[in-house]
């Protein structure tokens, strides 16, 4: 008997492959790092978010080993039952102090954190205002919140102000990536805060790619934003922090509300407490990580200088470890990515719908764990292929 629904999925997969949009998982063998083995091939990796080289840092590995005898592996319950371990609690306190907020809440993933915050703060009488290039998790969260969902052109704060002025919502929430993951640009935090204050809105900033890297590792918040009760700050902890999860920092009242109302927090088993123990050590490494951050910025400068006269492709303006090289067509991005892979260099091709049509790109991500020779090798290969 034929199964029409299954056949439609097969046709859809074939269409994705024909359009150079099919995604495949590669298998990492061994630890994450600047030099990896993937699918049996040794390569220099320019495709991870391990910006400070902490994913396999010996101090964090030792923290994991040391914690296992104290906490075991699984949390065994939700946070509000019996799964909230001392390691979770201590990390939340330390994170809040580090980023300059009064309280914090630890989540298993950044995706869950975004769903939790937006849906807990905005109901059917509220309105979410979102940059069009926000991460998919913020888009999904806004749609699930049940209120109005209004998007503004990327970085267009004049359009945002007009939308805020026209809003009659009881609750207004401005949500934005702080460092945009596909372009590498940084939002104007204080300009967004000006609008939030003028129109009595919350400001929620997702700093997935700035935490650990910007402002001595404390992330992209300005001092004014740290002091503002209306600013809610998210940092994901599987990127520069090198571990897993996400933390939300805000006024104590906001955190208390999330504990009571954030469904993705309440109705899930807590993350393994050993990960929180690792995060405590990671936070210490980030706080003392000026040398790592300086080395990372040297790599950014080296790459940008080396690719300034590249014949094919445009390097987007970015001072962050995210360095997008726009090449245009999906097929061209895939071709270049494959050609680099054959040279032992892994750089992912980012295609539609993740980025707009005709802006397919190589998304180069740098780490302090890279050596200058690694960056030079990538620059030489890109010139040879252009």
Please give the annotated binding residues, written as ranges: 23, 110-111, 135, 181, 209, 236, 354
Hey, how many other C-beta atoms are within 10 angstroms of the C-beta on 37?
A: 15
Instruction: Specify the DSSP class assigned to residue 215.
Output: G
* Binding site residue list for pyridoxal 5'-phosphate: 110-111, 181, 209, 236
CA distance 195 to 186: 17
Query: What burial class does residue 383 get, using C-beta atoms within 10 Å of its C-beta: 0-12 exposed, 13-18 middle, 19+ buried?
Result: middle
Tell me if the bond preceding 353 is cis, omega within 30° of 0: yes
Nearest to 286 by CA among 65, 35, 99: 99
In sequence order, the β-bridge partners of residue 146 are: none
- The pair of structure tokens assigned to 180 is 């945009």
- The pair of structure tokens assigned to 225 is 């934003």
Instruction: Specify the DSSP class assigned to residue 225.
Output: H
* Upper half-sphere CA count for residue 322 (Cβ side, 13 Å): 20
CA distance 348 to 344: 13
Is residue 20 within 8 Å of 330, Cβ to Cβ? yes
Q: Using CA atoms in the order 160, 163, 165, 168, what is the torsion angle rounded to 10 degrees?
A: -140
* Binding site residue list for substrate: 23, 135, 354
Is residue 69 within 8 Å of 62, Cβ to Cβ? no
Nearest to 365 by CA among 321, 334, 325: 321
CA distance 220 to 235: 10
In which residue are the tokens 């056949």 written? Answer: 7
CA distance 67 to 72: 8
Nearest to 138 by CA among 147, 129, 146: 129
């Amino acid at each position: 008997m034929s199964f029409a629904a299954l056949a439609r999925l097969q046709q859809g997969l074939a269409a994705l492959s024909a359009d150079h949009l099919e995604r495949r998982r590669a298998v990492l063998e061994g630890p994450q790092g600047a030099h990896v083995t993937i699918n049996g091939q040794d390569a220099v990796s320019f495709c991870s978010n391990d910006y400070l080289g902490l994913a396999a840092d010996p101090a964090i590995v030792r923290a994991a080993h040391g914690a296992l005898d104290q906490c075991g592996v699984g949390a065994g319950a939700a946070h509000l039952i019996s799964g909230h371990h001392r390691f979770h609690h201590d990390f939340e306190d330390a994170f809040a102090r580090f980023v300059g907020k009064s309280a914090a809440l630890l989540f298993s993933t950044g995706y869950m954190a975004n769903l939790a915050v937006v849906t807990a703060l905005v109901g059917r009488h509220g309105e979410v205002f979102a940059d069009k290039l926000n991460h998919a998790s913020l888009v999904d969260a806004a749609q699930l919140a049940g209120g109005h969902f209004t998007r503004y052109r990327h970085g267009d704060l004049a359009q945002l102000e007009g939308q805020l002025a026209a809003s009659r919502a009881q609750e207004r929430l401005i949500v934005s990536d702080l460092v945009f993951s596909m372009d590498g640009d940084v939002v104007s935090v204080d300009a967004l805060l000006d609008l939030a204050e003028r129109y009595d809105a919350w400001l929620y900033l997702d700093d997935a790619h700035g935490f650990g890297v910007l402002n001595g590792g404390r992330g992209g918040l300005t001092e004014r934003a740290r002091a503002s009760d209306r600013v809610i700050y998210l940092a994901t902890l599987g990127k520069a922090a090198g571990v897993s999860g996400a933390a939300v920092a805000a006024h104590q009242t906001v955190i208390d509300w999330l504990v009571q109302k954030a469904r993705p927090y309440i109705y899930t088993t807590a993350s393994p407490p050993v990960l929180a123990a690792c995060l405590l050590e990671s936070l210490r490494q980030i706080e003392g990580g000026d040398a790592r951050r300086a080395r990372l910025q040297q790599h950014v400068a080296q790459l940008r200088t080396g690719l300034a006269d590249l014949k094919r492709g445009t390097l987007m303006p970015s001072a962050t470890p995210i360095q997008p090289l726009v090449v245009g067509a999906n097929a061209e991005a895939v071709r270049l990515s494959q050609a680099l892979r054959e040279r032992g260099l892994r750089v992912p091709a980012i295609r539609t719908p993740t980025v707009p049509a005709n802006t397919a790109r190589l998304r180069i991500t740098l780490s302090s764990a890279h050596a200058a020779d690694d960056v030079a090798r990538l620059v030489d290969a890109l010139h040879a292929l252009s």
